[in-house]
Amino acid sequence: MFSYQPPLRDMQFVLNDVLRAPRALSELPPFSEVDADLIQQVAEEAGRFAKEVLFPTNSVGDAQGCRLTEQGVVTPDGFRDAYQQFVAGGWPALACDPAYGGQGLPHTLNVILYEMLCSANQAWTMFPGLLQGAYECLHQHASQELKDRYLPRIVSGEWLATMCLTEAHAGSDLGLLRTRAVPQEDGSVRITGNKIFISGGDSDLTENIVHLVLARLPDAPPGSKGISLFLVPKFLPEGSNELGKKNNVLCVGLEHKMGIHGSPTCSMDFDEATGWLVGEPHKGLAAMFVMMNSARLHVGIQGLGIAEAAYQNALAYAQERLQMRAAVRPANRKNEPADPIIMHPPVQRLLMTQRAYVEGSRMMALYCGLLLDQAAHHPDSVRRTQAEERLALLTPVVKALMTDQGFEGASMALQVFGGHGYVRETGIEQYLRDSRIAMIYEGTNEIQAVDLLLRKILGDGGARLQDFFDEIKHTTIEKAGGEMETYAQRLNRLLADTGQVLTHIGQLANSDPSLPFMLAPDVLRLLGHCALAWLWLQAGAVAVAGDSGDLRFYQAKVHTARYYFEFVLPEADQRLSILRSAVQNSKEGRSLPLLSDVMEDYAS
């Protein structure tokens, strides 16, 4: 049977030993009283909810899916009850402003919470997953009147929220959208248009839903510079926030999807629906990007959550499943007809690769949670800016790398299960199906790679990247000597090689404009490994000196760090080889082979 155990011990290790989060958070005025005990208490309660309340709804949600009725979307059995318990526990308000009913706790704790929710039930987690982004967007850009009316209900989770961006003809190219917004004398607007692929566009979990909609005002310039953002509720509030009449917003269809069946992916029709401008006219993308960047980090955490649950169950199965005799057998098994498959080296490779990515991704996710808190609250403006820039650099890496590995981890786990993984009874195939979407929505992973290379690296002349590399180099110097010295030297070489090849790509971008676009996915994987190797170097060094009272845990951490450097990090050498070859071809005037070069052959 598929199961889930909250990885509380590993979270504790990352936060307390590697990132020293309690100390880092204590430097931020709002969190001066947040200590290790409080963090552990929140993690334990979040884990209990994920395991005991949410996880039992996962397979039910996959089997039943959502239904569109005349009354609206009906969610699977147990989803509504789980959401009511989630709201009653105050979880939506965890990292929100106390002025609007929030608990005022760090974003770092939200990372802990949402990893475990995604492990337990990714489809359900997509409902509250957009609340934090909607809160941040409105908190930063909405008028005080809108904030006073809507934020308390969003912060409490009493009302859910959506992002309404995509249109059938536009996809990720938001500059092509056609939805119209016509101003009214009372300061509102009338929104008309159709949106597709809207996660949670309608449901029976809450009585109201706040849609954040991109549309064009009548005087809007063409393209992305003419997009504005509007708040459009399902029901229009009246008086002291009582619900009034139904707005002209309707879910007209549900997508039949490969996975995340418990999450309704809606086609939405806005027929002169009443809405209000959020932020400035024609500046909607800047406001919406607050929500989109939050969503991208959340989707990366989805990949982590899926990978963790998949690894846990693959490991448990491998310890129980007896198949063939291992190459090396302990004396007490010499007369047994078969051994647990965990004793077979190829299965160990599958499991250790999953483990290295899962634990490395957790370090990266929690590090980004700390950056969010520092960017918002550090008393030193220089440190705030540095955290913002670091987060901007790493957000596409988190989204793309961690969702790639979520799917790959689920696939490796299914491989451990063998034929039993390919049938529904064991549960792993659902995680494989559910995880695949994360590589697509909130900007495909290819779009993330292009954003990273062209905007975040080449766009500022490499300043953000150099700042990050300087910190990594400081760590390699600090960790020199001892068991991890070889790996510190290897990481230093990787930084030098990466910096050199990126310099060449930047120099060639003007004369060969397609080059960075073609190489962006390799650059993203390469930078991802720079970050993972940096975190594993720290984790390994901490574990080497770990408390002998928990010797087995720390030894396992050292072994996993070694495995990462010996078996996983060499992917970086492959990516460097690809980049160097492409750079050399470009320098010598040889274009990269593209499908367009052979299309004539197909046509003929």
The answer to whether residue 495 is domain-embedded is: yes
Averaged over 21-25, what is the pLDDT? 97
**Cβ(287)–Cβ(149) below 8 Å:** no
Q: How confident is the model at residue 284 (pLDDT cuts 50, 70, 90)?
A: very high
| Least confident window among 78-87, 209-218, 457-466, 548-557 | 548-557
| C-alpha 183 chain-centroid distance | 36
Q: If you ran DSSP here, which 8-state letter would residue 90 be given?
A: T
Q: How confident is the model at residue 408 (pLDDT cuts 50, 70, 90)?
A: very high
Percent of the chain exceeding pLDDT 90 equals 89
Residues annotated as catalytic (active site), given as ranges: 442
The answer to whether residue 388 is domain-embedded is: no
All residues at 6 or more sequence positions from 481 whose CB lies less than 8 Å from its CB, including other chains: none
Is pLDDT at 142 greater than 80 in this prediction? yes
Q: Dmax of the chain from CA atoms?
A: 87
Tokens coding 420: 């039993």
**Average pLDDT over the chain, rounded to an integer:** 95
Predicted confidence at residue 210, as pLDDT, reads 98
Is pLDDT at 583 greater than 90 in this prediction? yes
Q: How confident is the model at residue 599 (pLDDT cuts 50, 70, 90)?
A: low
* 496 against 547, higher pLDDT: 496
Tokens coding 507: 């120099």
> Taken in order 126, 65, 435, 284, is the CA torsion positive or negative?
negative
The answer to whether residue 556 is domain-embedded is: yes
Is pLDDT at 423 greater than 80 in this prediction? yes
Q: If you ran DSSP here, which 8-state letter would residue 61 be given?
A: H
Averaged over 170-196, what is the pLDDT? 93
Q: How confident is the model at residue 600 (pLDDT cuts 50, 70, 90)?
A: low
Averaged over 536-555, what is the pLDDT? 92
Averaged over 529-557, what is the pLDDT? 94
pLDDT in tens, 464-503: 999 999 999 999 998 877 889 999 999 999 999 999 999 9
Predicted confidence at residue 596, as pLDDT, reads 65
- Exposed, middle or buried by CB within 10 Å (0-12, 13-18, 19+), for 242? exposed
Is pLDDT at 604 greater than 60 in this prediction? no
The answer to whether residue 507 is domain-embedded is: yes
Instruction: Provide the domain limits for residue 569.
Output: 453-591
The answer to whether residue 404 is domain-embedded is: no
Overall number of domains in the chain: 1
Residue 420 CA to residue 422 CA, distance in Å, equals 5
pTM, full prediction:
0.96
pLDDT in tens, 44-74: 999 999 999 999 999 999 999 999 999 999 9
pLDDT in tens, 80-130: 999 999 999 999 999 999 999 999 999 999 999 999 999 999 999 999 999
Q: What long-range pairs does 11-16 form, CB within 8 A, spacing at least 24?
A: 11/43, 11/112, 11/362, 11/366, 12/40, 12/43, 13/539, 13/542, 13/553, 13/557, 14/362, 14/363, 14/366, 14/539, 15/39, 15/108, 15/366
The answer to whether residue 172 is domain-embedded is: no
Is pLDDT at 156 greater than 80 in this prediction? yes
The answer to whether residue 538 is domain-embedded is: yes
Averaged over 243-249, what is the pLDDT? 95
Nearest Cα neighbor of 298 from 118, 422, 477, 425 is: 118
* 212 against 239, higher pLDDT: 212
* 398 against 334, higher pLDDT: 398
Residue 379 CA to residue 387 CA, distance in Å, equals 12
Beta-sheet pairing, 189-199 with 209-215: unpaired
Predicted confidence at residue 102, as pLDDT, reads 97
Is pLDDT at 6 greater than 70 in this prediction? yes
Residue 366 CA to residue 21 CA, distance in Å, equals 9
**In sequence order, what DSSP letters do the residues of 436-483 get, joined into one string?**
HGGGTSSS-HHHHHHIIIIIIIGGGTTHHHHHHHHHHHHHHHHT-SST
The answer to whether residue 484 is domain-embedded is: yes
pLDDT in tens, 318-327: 999 999 999 9
Q: How confident is the model at residue 597 (pLDDT cuts 50, 70, 90)?
A: low
Residues paired with residue 142 on neighbouring β-strands, in sequence order: none
Coil/strand/helix, residue 213:
strand
All residues at 6 or more sequence positions from 191 whose CB lies less than 8 Å from its CB, including other chains: 179, 180, 181, 213, 215, 230, 232, 270, 272, 273, 274, 275
Helix axes 345-377, 284-320, angle to 10 degrees: 150
Predicted confidence at residue 31, as pLDDT, reads 97
Predicted confidence at residue 77, as pLDDT, reads 98
